[in-house]
Structure 1
């Protein structure tokens, strides 16, 4: 088992089948192009690989604001549905925490859909606090 930054086209494409479980609206034909655009804005994709297959994927970015200072925000965190509750989520979450600390971040944050009860239990087990509500306005 290893956790790697997805940098090559083949590494990025390997992550599609896992990430699309969380984001079913994404299309494989435009996936690589969108990841490359997001990378230009500072986003990074990591994946946990075992037996040459992605088992978990996360997309994150380090940012800074007045509310938090320097922080790592996780935009996407998903474990393949066929292997959940086997520790993969824990390993990728710990990697993110360590990466944030290594880069001087004071906080790790993420948003989670209100319907994702299993994910909420996972985050609470990992000592995350529910610190606010995220509001959105479709345009």
Structure 2
């Protein structure tokens, strides 16, 4: 039976690293921990994990934001299911968890971005989770 739990300690975060590394493969454990600590302290970033038989099989990271475009909303920064555990409904459960958390905390909008190459993820967001494609995200490295 699966369960979802908020991850709030360094030990929790490091336990989540092997699954997160599948999405954020540029991060070392040290850098991952550094970024999660800072984002949690300054931006309200939260990590939640879906456990199956005591093992993390999927993770989401999200945080509250405020923009003129959306007003107050939740930004899903990360959503990843272990590559050996995909197509079992774990992503749907975690995103539904974020949606419930958002509603319970007074947020009416959830937003996220997804890499252009991630066609399967796009189908999941649009077809299964009923998200609308609203814009492109642009990035410039300085």
TM-score, structure 2 normalization: 0.94
Asked if 2 retains the 8 angstrom alpha-carbon contact of 1:14 and 1:53, the reply is no
Whether 2:79 is the aligned partner of 1:74: answer no
Cα offset, 1:86, TM superposition: 0.4
Cα offset, 1:33, TM superposition: 2.2
**Aligned residue in 1 for 2:66:** 64
Task: Describe the SS at the equivalent of 1:59.
Answer: strand
The gaps in structure 1 that reach 5 residues or longer are none
Deviations for 1:5-38, whole angstroms, at most 9, x for unmatched residues? 1112221111101100001110023322221111
The count of aligned residue pairs is 139
The gaps in structure 2 that reach 5 residues or longer are none
Extract structure 1 runs of 4+ deviating beyond 4 A. Answer: none
TM-score, structure 1 normalization: 0.96
Whether 2:129 is the aligned partner of 1:129: answer no
Q: CA RMSD in A?
A: 1.0
Tell me which of 44, 47, 51 is aligned to 1:45: 47
